[in-house]
Amino acid sequence: MTIRIHQFLCLQDNFGLLVHDDHTGATACVDAPDGEAIAAEAERLGWRLSHVLLTHHHLDHVEGVPPLRATFPDIKVFGARKDAHRLEGLDEMVGEGDTIEIGAACARVLETPGHTTGHLAYYLLEDDALFVGDTLFSLGCGRVFEGTMETMYNSLETLANLPDETRIYCGHEYTQSNARFAVTVDPENTALMERAREVDALRAAGKFTVPTTIMLERATNPFLRCEDPLVQRAMGMVDRDPVEVFARMRERKNAFRA
């Protein structure tokens, strides 16, 4: 492993994420929810920011870019080529299959539309790390604001097919509320019940519930289990197309109140 990853909360429930290459000193932040908080954390660690990797255009993921530029004038900001018209100040526009060097580490760009049409994820294969923004959460997924349910389903399948050991870093600490919904649509899943108890214990102790892993999410996240007969039975959608099950599940989650 060539990198260190440091996460912390900022704004209300956004994660600040710093990716640091010890060999070269290069440091990236994934999204920029709070520029002052990110700069302070980087400086506390003795890391100088060199890259900003934007997953999508929503304000709580980009509003920190201007103060970061003021503190680190040499940073390069990367974002979706398809969203260049609404991501101000990009230095590099990227898309599916492009790579970004963070010192000795290499991040591959994955297009994951659905939450927004230009949403990106960043995959560090050699370090088993995946930064998914608001496409995938532990025990949940992002709302479908742009595009179609099928588009979002396909993006989630792309991520779910990555290696089991891949660690997932997402944009928000939503796991506990996601768990409360997940058990209503996958009530016979013992792995999910165990994960829900673990999440409650972690939050009670003031600890984060991520990173998670691809293996854990495939076993417990109902949005990645729409083809499973137990989920389909709980949803009242036996033998239905998994995309239809996903769409119904996402609609239920939108209306869910814990």
Query: Which residues does the annotation mark as catalytic?
Result: 56, 58, 60-61, 115, 134, 172
Give the sheet arrangement for strand 167-170, strand by strand: 99-102, 105-111, 120-124, 129-133, 167-170, 212-213
Tell me if the bond preceding 211 is cis, omega within 30° of 0: yes
| CA distance linking residue 232 with residue 210, whole number of Å | 27
Residue 28 carries which DSSP code? E
d(CA 97, CA 140): 25
Query: Beta-carbon neighbour count of residue 129 at 10 Å?
Result: 22
176, 20, 81, 243: CA torsion to nearest 10 = -30
Contacts of 241 (CB under 8 A, 6+ apart): none
Give the span between the Cα atoms of 159 and 155, in whole angstroms: 7
